[in-house]
Amino acid sequence: MEFINKTNYTRVEDLKRLKFIQSAVLSLNKPNAKVLDVGCGNGNNSRQLASLGFDVLGIDISDKTINTAKSLNTYDNLRFENVSAEDLDINDKFDAIICCEVVEHLHEPAPVIKSLKKLLKPEGILIITVPNGYGPREVIMTKPMQALMKNKFSWNFVVGLKRMFGYKGTTIQSEAEDLMHIQFFTKKSLKKLLQVEDFKLINFQGTNFVEAVFPISLVANRVKSVQKFDNWMADQLPDSFSSGFLSSWKFK
């Protein structure tokens, strides 16, 4: 099926992730598949899948981001709820579950995976995307920035500097206020987390290489060809060089 972007995404990295998610759900060959988008944020992934006719439920623990998702929704087959996966009160199970850029924010990701297991049909597919905890972006950007946040003076200086370069401190994915990364996954540790709950890896891909790392990002944000080349490079290099991981899973 031809990919037609129905979201607010414009960055090559975000669109690559979105294409991966769409392809994984389409691989089920179920036009009326029920999809759960866990940590749906502003609802971009949910809207994309709803545009294809799937029955989609997006959930998030941030009421602010759910309100944004609801305000952007124009699909009758898409709804949003302000609830966690663990507290979701629903009898039906889902054909596909998306957990996109979520588990790196959790102190205890294992209980969430266990909850997703209970919500997924036996023949269903689980799609997990996370940053590479030891990839270029996390090592060069995320970890040093989070270290600086512990000192009020140094962090205020960084915030001011970022504003000078046009960074707003928000993301197109979510309105949530706390976007701290707590877990730093490798491919091996991600597999271990999922295999404990009897999942097997079906498909795995890297996202981008260094285009989101400052100061390269100053150019990449303005030149789409730089983003495209960088995302292509991530596919040529070993997985450990990628800044993010895309993965799909099924029961063993």
Q: Which CATH class is domain 12-251?
A: alpha beta
The predicted pLDDT at position 154 comes to 73
The predicted pLDDT at position 174 comes to 66
Mean pLDDT of 149-177: 67
* Helix ranges, 138-202 (H): 143-148, 152-164, 187-195
Q: Name the least confident of 39-48, 150-159, 161-170.
A: 161-170
The predicted pLDDT at position 175 comes to 59
Domain locations in the chain? 12-251
Q: Evaluate if residue 136 carries a pLDDT over 80.
A: yes
Give the CA angle between residues 121, 18, 118 to the nearest 5°. Answer: 20
pLDDT digits (tens, 9 = 90+) for 17-39: 999 999 999 999 999 999 999 99
Comparison of pLDDT for 214 and 124, the residue scoring more? 124
| Angstrom distance (rounded) from CA 249 to CA 230 | 26
pTM (2 decimals)? 0.93
